[in-house]
Structures are given as structure tokens and as C-alpha cells.
Structure 1
Amino acid sequence: MIPQATVQCQDLARFVVDVLTARDVPANDAQLTARSLIQADQRGIHSHGTLRLPLYSEALRLGGINPTPSMRFTQGAAGVATLDADAALGQVAMQAAVDRVLELAGSQGIAAVAVHNSSHYGAGAFWSDQLGAAGLLSIITSSTGPVVAPHGGSTKVLGTNPLTLGAPSADGWPLTADLATSNGAYGKVIAAKNEGTSLPEGWAVDADGRPTTDPVAAAEGSMIPFGGHKGSAVAVLLEAFAASLTGATFAFETVDIWSNPASRMNNGHLIVGIDSAAFGGSDHTRSRVATLQQQVRDSGSGDRTVQSPGDPEHFRQSASMETITLAGSTVRQLAQLAEDLSLTPVPSHS
């Protein structure tokens, strides 16, 4: 295992922006993407953090991601819109979609935006937090590349098909569930492969359908849905929600940029926002959600601590506002990226 290293958040943010602007991404879009990736690292979701930057850079270089997209909204029924993201960075497409959900929900009480021709959008809570701050409950999902076999199968049909649910709260931060519908995020397979570590049991099968903890074999084989046949059913339905409303491709129709960075993946995203102000009122919803959060936290016995959904990530972020500890392999890859692009590398110490 390569030793971990600690970096200053501001140095890392500067570097991410430098890399993306070197690939012709406009400064505002680069800064948005940097905030998304770094927040994921701060929250300990390294599979969706700066580990992804070399992949984004290569996809931008080869055309899999369009640095200067001409995105186009099409308005549907009241409260509904679709967005053709023109192969944009997923963060750029999602910010436009979230902004439109906020606009439409403010007048309609509920809104949905379906996105196609997009790419990986980072951690879903980055988007649900924005909606929660405005008093919206949210449901967010996305299609991805093909990495998951349905329950009982051995062929990669599905993506990791993330599901993010968020509700605004009066108690510090939103109530949030942000998860892949595979037993682990695919980025964690890449991280384990880079670090030379093993996967947890039950995450993957090899190309012959045999259980494996080897990330190399897992990448050649398939991830496994969480929750057996029930989790598999959720993953299948989320694929339908994310990709059937627009011209987005299903995972089994997609060439992942992990396999070919020149591929325009045509990911689909769906964002649904429910404005609490249109129901019992925003203050009422925030208060009720805070009551639920605290009841969950108080459910332990003795000195046993119970955390409400979203608590671990926010606690980690609050402890990592100045510095982040990254995997050694990520630091090494960022250093190689700096060399390739003739940029100042991120200072770090072990």
C-alpha cells in the first residue's frame, strides 16, 4: 500500500482548477467541479473525489467530455424540463439542472428535470444539499457505465445507479441518504486497484461469476447489487428512471470512460425537487425532519452512539475543512498529471 499524504484544501482546489482550465474548461465550471470533488474527499467519499481528476482530464483531452458544451433545455409540462448537456462535465450539467429545479419548484411546488448527454456528476449529496438549503426534499439518480450484474446474473447490464434522497432540516444539515445500488461504488474498486488492496467480500464476482475480493478481477467481472434481489430491483428501476425519459443510454448500451476516455457516455440523470413551502411550510418540514434525526440519534442504548443518515459525512467534512488526507496512489497520480500538463503540483506531506 502506498503511504497516505495530507494536502491543503486550498492548494488542492487550485490544482483541480488549473488542470481543468488547461483542458479548456471555463474557470467558473472548473471551480464548480473542484468544489464537488474536494467536498467528496472532505466527506471521506474518495471514490467520487480527486481520484476522478485524471480520468476527467483524459476524457476532456480525448473528447469523451466536452469542455465548452452548448447545453439546451426543452420545457415540457409545467414543472418539467429536459436538458441536453452536450457531453458536458456532469457537474456542469447538474448545476444547470438543479438551478432549473429550484426555479420551477418555486412556482409549481414540485419540479423534475431529466438530463441526457451527460457524464459523471460526482457525489449526489453535493446536489441534494443545494436543494435542501432552499427547503426542497429531493430524489436524484443517474445512469452510469456497465459494471453491475443483476441478481442471479453474470453479465454487466446495470450501472452502480446511485440514489440520493435529501430532506431539509433545522438541525445543522439535511437528512441525507447517498448511496450506490451496488454493494460498493465502482470508484472504490479503482481506488483499491490503485492502492493494491482488497475489496470487502460480497462486493464483486470475477469474469467467471465467482466471488472475488481482487479489484483487478472485479473490474474484469461484475459488481453485485446491494440487498440481493430487492436491491437489484431498485437498481433496475433507477436505470429506467434515469435513462428512459430522454435519449440517454442504458448502462449496457454505454462504453464507460474508465474503459475508453474518448467515449461520450450519454449518461442520464433525474432530479426531482419537492418544495416544502407548498405543503405544511418550510419551517414545519425542517422542524419535523430535525425531530426525526434526533430520534434516530437517541435510539442507542447505554453509551452506544447512533448516527442519523448524513451525519458521518458531515462530521468528517467539519474535521477536514483545512486539510485532506488522500490515498498515496491519488497523490502520485495528481503529481503525474502536474508533470504531464507542466503545472505546479500539490504540496503534500506524509
Structure 2
Amino acid sequence: MLRTNIQAIPLNTTAYRRFTLDEAVDWVKHLCESKGCSPAVANSLAHATVAAQARGNQAVGFRHLADYLPGFSSGRINPCVEPRISRAGAIIFKSDAQGGIAQLGVDRCFDSLCHAAHVNGMATLSQCNSFTSGELGDYTLRFAQAGLIALAVANGPALVAVPGARGKTYSTNPISFAAPSADGVPLLFDQACSATAFVNIAHAASTGSGIPEGWAVDQYGNGTRDALAALSGALLPFGGHRGANLMLMVEVLAAGLTGANWSLDAPAFNQGAQSPGCGLLILLLAPTYFSEGFEQRLANQMARLTQMGVHRPGWERQHATVNAQNDGIRVSVGLLEQLSRL
């Protein structure tokens, strides 16, 4: 039996359960294996889920399991499949996830990608036919912690209506970037090219919360602050045409280059029995091949920018991880019960 420490916290009358990180990983692994997942799939998804939760990225932490668990049951995600890994030359790795989770393909290639990048100056992973990517920043951060600059892009089913288009055209098409720094805290950002991530809309709808203006439109194309109306409508790109351009770039790299489904052709990730067949591309650069002292230069530059009041992306989330390593994480009892019922 998995043991946890239960702690009721008087925050909006919501009760929370506190886990150490190891306990949380074990809890998620047990839950996944109860849905028929192989030990490898359960392990990859559990570590990615808990890492996101520890960073405070709850949208792709425990809450995201509410998408994975029904996906395993319905057939949208193959719970046991191994990705098919191949290479095209010394620096290009290819993964066909075969309808499984995206995280396992990255895990299977991680050490080889790091070695190839450090030996050759760069390496890349092209993955197709997976469920959605999860927390894209988890991949880039791990590579940055291994001393590499990492850029990752991913696509998924069409959820976003761009200016002038008739209907949904792209997914939220996230992009993440991370770089190692001599101060021990990698520079990191992970963001959707839409005004927000779909999981934030879904969470607002489930809790009866409103959403900010500019996030979405309803089914008639009118701007809305009603999350339920947004679920029937579409998300919006950030920055209008500029955001739409970035979405197209991500689509070309994550779907066109990898051979994954275009967003327009991808089955839904939250209904039906077909895999969305998403794509993921990760580009890695070894800084020492380009200039000596990169990590120290970056640390000095980030210190200067911080003194000028510039926000340092990823700083808070990585400090949250340190706190979680010491104090554990807390998850609402209501969410845990919901996931157990799933």
C-alpha cells in the first residue's frame, strides 16, 4: 500500500494531501499500472507528472492525468507500446511513438542524444505518432541540466482559430527553450503560441471560473470570458498574426518535418479511440563548439538583466522544485479522488 501524509490546509476549505516526491511518483505509477500501463510507460509518465507538479506547473501535472487515464482506457493512448527508435546519421534520432506517450520516446533517447550532441556539437530528435507532449519544458530543462542548449516544439489537434481563418487551424503549438548557466539555474521558458493552454480553459470550465478577455472565442466567433463557451469555440493566438506565424513555424517543424499529423488532421486528444498522432522536434546544441565560456557569459548577462528589472524565465519554477525536494508537494484530495475514480 502506498503511504502518504495527509494534511488538511484551510485554503478555501480545500483539503490537501502532501507527498514526498518519491511517494508522488509511486502513487502515479500505481495509478497508471492499474490502467494497464507497462512499467516503462508508468515510470516515464509518473516522473514527468511529478516534475511538472513540483515546478508549480499544475496544468500539466496531476490535473493532466485526467486526460491520460481515460486515454489509456479508450485506446487513444497505447498503454504498453515501446517507441520505435532509429537513427539517420550521427546526430539525427527518430522515434515513432506508435500511439503511445511522448515522454517515453524522449527517455529512451536521452542519454544517446546527450552523447551525440557533446561529441558532434549538435543533435536532434524527431518524434511522431504520440499523444500530446505534456510539459514541453521538462525535456528542454533536462537537456540544459546536461550542459546543452535545447529548443523543442510540438503540435497537436487543432484548437486555435487564427485571424482570417474559417475554423480551427492549429493546436496551441508550444515552444520551449533552455540553456545552461554557470549560476546553476538554467534559463528556461515553456509557452504555448496560443493566448493560453487548452488545459487552462478546461480547468476553468470544470471549476466554473471565468477566463480573461482575449483567450478564446465562442462557437460564433465572438470573444468570450465564459470557459464553457470557449470549449465550444476556439482558442486565440497571442499577438494576432505574429502568434499565428509562430504557430505555422512550429507546425512545419513538429508535424511537417517529423511526419506527424498536421493539426487539422489530428484526432481529438480528449475523445474517441484514435491517437492524435502528435509530433515533437528537439534541437540540441553543445555551447563549447560555438564559443568558450558560454555558461559564465550567460550567467553574467542574466545577472545584469535581473538588476535592470528583466524577468528571468523559469527562475520561480526551478526554485519551486528545490522547495518541493525539501518539503514535498501537495495535491487536493478532491483531485486525487477524481483520478482514482478514473
**Normalising by structure 1, what TM-score?**
0.88
Greater displacement, 228-237 / 9-18: 9-18
Letter in structure 2 aligned against 1:124: L
Letter in structure 2 aligned against 1:192: A
Return the match for 2:104 from 86, 89, 92: 92
- Determine the structure 2 residue equivalent to 1:244: 256
Query: Measured at CA, do residues 5 and 153 of structure 1 come closer, stay the same or move farther in structure 2, by a change above 3 Å?
Result: farther
Letter in structure 1 aligned against 2:286: D
Return the match for 2:311 from 295, 304, 307: 307
Higher relative contact order (CA 8 A, sep 6+): 1
Q: How many Å apart are 1:209 and its aligned residue? A: 0.6
Alpha-carbon distance in 1 for matches of 2:322, 2:208: 29
Query: Measured at CA, do residues 21 and 145 of structure 1 come closer, stay the same or move farther in structure 2, by a change above 3 Å?
Result: same
Unaligned 5+ residue runs, structure 1? 301-305, 341-350
1:118-163 per-residue CA deviation (whole Å, 9 max, x = no partner) reads 1123212211111112211011011112111123335111000110
Q: How many Å apart are 1:40 and its aligned residue? A: 1.5
1:38-69 per-residue CA deviation (whole Å, 9 max, x = no partner) reads 22122221111111112211111121111221
Alpha-carbon distance in 1 for matches of 2:221, 2:111: 43
Alpha-carbon distance in 2 for matches of 1:231, 1:163: 12
Query: Measured at CA, do residues 28 and 5 of structure 1 come closer, stay the same or move farther in structure 2, by a change above 3 Å?
Result: farther
Identity %: 28
Q: How many Å apart are 1:266 and its aligned residue? A: 0.7
2:293 counterpart of 1:295? no
Greater displacement, 1-10 / 62-71: 1-10
- Determine the structure 2 residue equivalent to 1:43: 55
1:1-350 matched pairs, under 5 angstroms:
3-10=13-20, 11-260=23-272, 262-281=273-292, 284-300=293-309, 306-321=310-325, 322-326=327-331, 331-339=333-341
Query: How large is the Cα RMSD of the aligned pairs?
Result: 2.0
Alpha-carbon distance in 1 for matches of 2:229, 2:13: 24
1:307-338 per-residue CA deviation (whole Å, 9 max, x = no partner) reads 31111212333333334344x5xx43431332
CA contact (8 A) 2:127 2:281 kept: yes
| Number of equivalent positions | 329
Please state whether the residue corresponding to 1:319 is helix, strand or coil. helix
Letter in structure 2 aligned against 1:336: Q
1:18-38 per-residue CA deviation (whole Å, 9 max, x = no partner) reads 111112223343233222112
Alpha-carbon distance in 2 for matches of 1:312, 1:218: 29
Query: Measured at CA, do residues 236 and 323 of structure 1 come closer, stay the same or move farther in structure 2, by a change above 3 Å?
Result: same
CA contact (8 A) 2:153 2:280 kept: yes
- Determine the structure 2 residue equivalent to 1:344: none
Please state whether the residue corresponding to 2:107 is helix, strand or coil. helix
CA contact (8 A) 2:132 2:269 kept: no
Letter in structure 2 aligned against 1:230: R
CA contact (8 A) 1:97 1:271 kept: no
Unaligned 5+ residue runs, structure 2? 1-10
1:154-173 per-residue CA deviation (whole Å, 9 max, x = no partner) reads 51110001100111011121
CA contact (8 A) 1:4 1:325 kept: no
Query: Measured at CA, do residues 59 and 3 of structure 1 come closer, stay the same or move farther in structure 2, by a change above 3 Å?
Result: farther
**Normalising by structure 2, what TM-score?**
0.90
Alpha-carbon distance in 2 for matches of 1:124, 1:3: 32
